[in-house]
Amino acid sequence: MKQIFFNKEKINTFHKTIHVTGDKSLSVRWVLFSSLANGKSKAYNLLRSEDVLAVIKTIKKFGIKVNLKKDYCEIIGNGLFGYKYKKNIVINAENSGTLGRLILGILIDTKYPIKLIGDNSLSKRDFKRVTDPLSQFGGIYKLKNKKNLPLILTGTKNPKPINYFEKKGSAQCKSSVIFAALKTKGTTTIKAKKSRNHTELLCKHLKLPITVTRKKNTDLIKIKKTTSIKPLNYKIPSDISSASFFIVLTLLSVNSSITIKNVNINPTRIGMIIILNKMGAKIVFKNKRKYKGEDIADIFVKSSKKLKSINCPSKLNSGAIDEFLLIFLVAAKSKGISYFKNLGELNQKESPRLKWGAKILNKMGFKTELTDETIKIHGNPDLDLNNKKILIKKFLKDHRVFMTSVIASMTFGGEWQIHDKDSINTSFPEFLDVIRNIKK
Ligand code: S3P
């Protein structure tokens, strides 16, 4: 695959119905839960991206059998305590923070030390946030620079239940602790700042002994001793984070509309929709339905002529955490100055995304004011890039920076050269195919 995407054409008016690929968070979690179940689980529409394939490679290292067929995937679990631990296992989480963090919870009881490595981007990310609580269960972790990968973990035969306060709003930390808690003999209590709740919903669907009490900004989660997990057959709905690129493409195009079918609209994931609707968009959910605890709908959106700035309430941050680069594009196209705060977590992603958000807008000619936690964006609905040349050069592999830049190139004009095309393979390999289909 050529590594550079070139574009100098704005997209023409379109009216389309599309599908995007399976939800990444649910795909990763389905593979992990199935690997711990007793017997055969089957999933349709599993995301076939590098991140999810890395999860499959990882569970195979522990003796779990996987049949990855064209239309479905089967996993034959050996039970909650059924991983076959051997000496000298090295697991590679590649670009996936979700895999790297969640698997550490599952491996709390490993008999032999395990080395966890990742690609350049993942090796720069914070793992202390998850090894800190896991140490309380009894795991021992040796991390590079006390914080990063590679790390070597030594497990414990008898993990002890813990009390843990998850303050960052990180679903990865929360989920890692839930997985470790399932392997203890007592009750673990987690107070967690709100974040995506797929792990809890899957636990409930599997009838595992978990309770969740929702408070204003936190959840109180209790997980009791578990002995076994039932197999999990699942039809994975489409990923709202992948759908988001086309929502914004449509919103910023002229006289266009799109329907995106069968998307997971879990209330902890729809922050971007709420924010954009506050900015004047009219994004609607049609055919709402429930599926195994998750909310699903078709998303319909039309181009918007009048968008206004927002002072974004930070309580919406966690539900939009993977979509802020796109939200910043919409803020740039809106009238007025938009303000986003408490966004330090964005700099902890595959690349420092808050900084990249500002960088992309600055290259396009928009004024921004940036701190470590906040960004002000001076919107200018009339700014046309004409023939301006914009180069988004190779940097840490970050799929969302690449895909957001492609959407910017198709909606703002200008002559773009965007590096790192293969980064889409981590989360959304079909991204450019969907774009081609919309242009047809
Ligand atoms: C994810 C949680 C979020 C999100 C990531 C997927 C998950 O990360 O950004 O893309 O599936 O649990 P944090 O837990 O670091 O917020």
Tell me the pLDDT tens digit for each residue of 73-127.
999 999 999 999 999 999 999 999 999 999 999 999 999 999 999 999 999 999 9
**Short-list 339, 337, 375, 334, CA closest to 354:** 375
Q: How far is the CA of 377 from the centre of ligand 1 (A)?
A: 25
Atom index in ligand 1 nearest the CA of residue 168 equals 16
Supply the residue whose CA is at minimum distance from atom 10 of ligand 1.
322
Which residue in 322, 398, 422, 433 is the catalytic one? Answer: 322
Q: How far is the CA of 25 from the centre of ligand 1 (A)?
A: 8
CB 317 near ligand 1, within 6 Å: no
Burial class for 58, CB neighbours closer than 10 Å (0-12, 13-18, 19+)? buried
Q: Is 322 a catalytic residue?
A: yes
Of 26, 99, 128, 170, the residue with max ligand 1 atoms within 8 A of its CB, to mutate for a pocket test, comes to 170
CB 98 near ligand 1, within 6 Å: yes
CB 107 near ligand 1, within 6 Å: no
Q: Considering the domain 24-235 in this protein, what is its CATH number?
A: 3.65.10.10
CATH 3.40.50.1000 fits 5-22+237-439, yes or no: no
Tell me the pLDDT tens digit for each residue of 346-355.
999 999 999 9
Are 5-22+237-439 and 24-235 in the same CATH fold? yes
pLDDT for res 384: 83
How many residues comprise the chain?
Answer: 440
Outline where DSSP puts E strands in 265-374: 284-291, 294-302, 311-312, 337-340, 367-370
**Short-list 351, 366, 353, 359, CA closest to 412:** 366
Query: In what helix (H) or strand (E) does residue 275 lie, and over which residues does it extend?
Result: helix 271-278
pLDDT for res 21: 98
DSSP string, 115-167: EEE--HHHHTS--HHHHHHHHHHT-EEEEETTTEEEEEEE--SSPPP-EEEE-
* Domain spans of the chain, in order of start: 5-22+237-439, 24-235
Of 321, 347, 400, the residue with max ligand 1 atoms within 8 A of its CB, to mutate for a pocket test, comes to 321
Atom index in ligand 1 nearest the CA of residue 322 equals 9
Q: How far is the CA of 98 from the centre of ligand 1 (A)?
A: 6
Tell me the pLDDT tens digit for each residue of 299-332.
999 999 999 999 999 999 999 999 999 999 999 9
pLDDT for res 396: 65
Tell me the pLDDT tens digit for each residue of 37-48.
999 999 999 999
The token pair that represents 403 in the structure block: 């895909």
Q: Which distant-in-sequence residues (6+ apart) come within 8 Å of 96 by Cβ?
A: 28, 50, 51, 54, 55, 118, 122, 426
